[in-house]
């Protein structure tokens, strides 16, 4: 009774999985397909292990379902959606067939009159021939399916023995030698199992090799960024985070764990993004310095000043190239020369300008505020996602507004700058919360512990 109840529940479970697969496909959740199929396989295996005896046909079906599930896992790891769907449907169809056999009653035996013995013998022979033929057709189709899988995935599996056994079985069936057909079918099943094992082993090896190649490339990109950390303007926190990620990946041997780790990392490893971030930061600083010098420029340095500002505008409006940082260095050098000239003239003209510390002569509180806010905005730009894009656009508009207010002497500068400061702070807090959610639980716990220790 208990076994029948379990069988009924299992049949409903597998059936519901088959009914719900379309929605799973629609959402393209490959992980869900893998979970459903592996759960069904585990439940079938538990039930088979509890049975006193299992027919050869059911064992063969389970072997096929097991192999299809392994191929599904491999396809999911490769993000091959179409292959994963096909393997999922095949595996679930097989498991459903097996689950239906659990609740099927055993066929009743009918008494056969002695007079019908000769007729029964002829009928039995016809049934045996049809059964063997169907078994051969089913086995040949499945071997062809395995052959297609091997070709599609560029595997190396030998089908020569399977083809020879199949040909001999067909010849024996045609000659009516059912005993030989039965023996050859047994060998074919063993050969089929061998082929399945080789496919499974090779697909796992292929998948692991692809994962490790991807991770090695990931580590190489981290190394490239760390080598240029100073030139790219990375903070100590960014350097520490990248170094920790690299150490974790290098120490992890399990390919599946490598993928899981990379999915959890919320870090940018694009060196071009870091370069663009550095370029935008330098442009913002140079713009502020040029703006601060503009009122002090005379004819002696006007040509150099105009050339520096024109080149900076050109860089700002063009896509970054390999020599962009070099051009910015040239502008920085020119601005330094202009700043030195302006400071020298200021010292000479003591009657008009009170002497002040050298580094403060060209400073302007509003310009410094603009430079500080613009630099924070540049840091945010490479990290925000589409949900924060409207806030970023608003912040850029406010930045342009306080620049124009500075040039015109608008008294509303302070109010506008404060609004921009609050908006940038809000975006920074949102990013910080997102990064906290992405960290593993143990890392968050460690951070909380360190924080409490500092407070004590």
Q: Which residues contact 191 (CB under 8 A, 6 or more apart)?
A: 161, 162, 165
∠ CA 408-313-414, rounded to 5°: 30
pLDDT digits (tens, 9 = 90+) for 232-277: 777 788 888 888 888 888 888 777 777 677 766 655 556 666 667 7
Name the burial class of residue 454, with classes exposed (0-12), middle (13-18) and buried (19+) by CB atoms within 10 angstroms of its CB: exposed
Q: Which two tokens stand for residue 250?
A: 């290098």
pLDDT digits (tens, 9 = 90+) for 277-316: 777 778 888 888 888 888 888 888 888 888 888 888 888 7
Give the least confident one: 153-157, 166-170, 423-427: 423-427
Q: Which two tokens stand for residue 374?
A: 């613009």
Q: Which two tokens stand for residue 426?
A: 């809000």
Which is nearest to 94 in space by CA: 48, 30, 50?
48
Give the mean model confidence (pLDDT) for residues 198-217.
86
For position 276, what pLDDT does the model report?
A: 73
Q: State percent of the chain over pLDDT 90.
A: 12
For position 211, what pLDDT does the model report?
A: 82
Q: Which two tokens stand for residue 194?
A: 């061998």
Q: Which residues contact 7 (CB under 8 A, 6 or more apart)?
A: 47, 99, 102, 103
∠ CA 155-161-164, rounded to 5°: 130
CATH number of 1-105: 1.20.120
Residue, of 167 and 27, whose pLDDT is higher: 167
């Amino acid at each position: 009774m208990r076994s029948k109840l379990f069988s009924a529940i299992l049949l409903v479970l597998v059936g519901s999985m088959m009914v719900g697969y379309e929605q799973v496909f629609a959402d393209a959740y490959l992980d869900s397909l893998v979970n459903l199929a592996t759960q069904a396989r585990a439940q079938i295996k538990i039930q088979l292990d509890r049975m006193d005896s299992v027919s050869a046909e059911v064992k063969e079906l389970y072997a096929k379902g097991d192999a299809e599930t392994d191929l599904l896992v491999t396809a999911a790891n490769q993000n091959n959606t179409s292959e994963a769907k096909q393997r999922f449907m095949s595996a679930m169809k097989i498991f459903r067939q097996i689950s239906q056999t659990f609740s099927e009653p055993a066929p009743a035996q009918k008494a056969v009159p002695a007079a019908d013995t000769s007729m029964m013998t002829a009928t039995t022979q016809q049934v045996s021939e049809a059964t063997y033929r169907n078994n051969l057709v089913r086995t040949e189709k499945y071997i062809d399916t395995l052959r297609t899988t091997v070709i599609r995935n560029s595997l190396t599996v030998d089908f020569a023995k399977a083809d020879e056994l199949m040909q001999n079985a067909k010849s024996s069936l045609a000659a009516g030698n059912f005993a030989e057909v039965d023996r050859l079918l047994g060998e074919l099943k063993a050969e089929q199992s061998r082929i399945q094992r080789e496919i499974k082993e090779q697909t796992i090896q292929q998948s692991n090799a692809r994962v490790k190649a991807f991770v090695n490339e990931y580590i190489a990109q981290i190394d490239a960024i760390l080598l240029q950390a100073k030139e790219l303007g990375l903070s100590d926190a960014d350097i520490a985070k990248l170094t920790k990620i690299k150490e974790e990946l290098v120490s992890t041997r399990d390919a599946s764990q490598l993928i899981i780790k990379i999915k959890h990392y919320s870090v940018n490893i694009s060196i071009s993004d870091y370069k663009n971030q550095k370029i935008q930061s330098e442009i913002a600083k140079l713009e502020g310095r040029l703006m601060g010098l503009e009122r002090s420029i005379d004819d002696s340095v006007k040509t150099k000043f105009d050339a520096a500002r024109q080149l900076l505008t050109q860089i700002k409006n063009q896509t970054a190239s390999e020599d962009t940082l070099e051009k910015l260095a040239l502008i920085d050098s020119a601005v330094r020369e202009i700043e030195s000239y302006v400071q020298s003239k200021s010292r000479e003209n003591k009657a008009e300008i009170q002497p002040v510390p050298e580094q403060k002569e060209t400073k302007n509180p509003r310009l410094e505020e603009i430079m500080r806010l613009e630099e924070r905005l540049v840091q945010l730009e490479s990290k925000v996602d589409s949900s924060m894009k409207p806030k970023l656009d608003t912040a850029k508009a406010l930045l342009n507004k306080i620049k124009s207010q500075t040039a015109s002497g608008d008294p509303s500068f302070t109010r506008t700058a404060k609004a921009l400061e609050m908006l940038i702070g809000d975006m920074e807090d949102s990013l910080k919360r997102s990064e906290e959610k992405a960290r593993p639980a143990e890392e968050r716990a460690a951070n909380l512990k360190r924080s409490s220790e500092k407070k004590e």
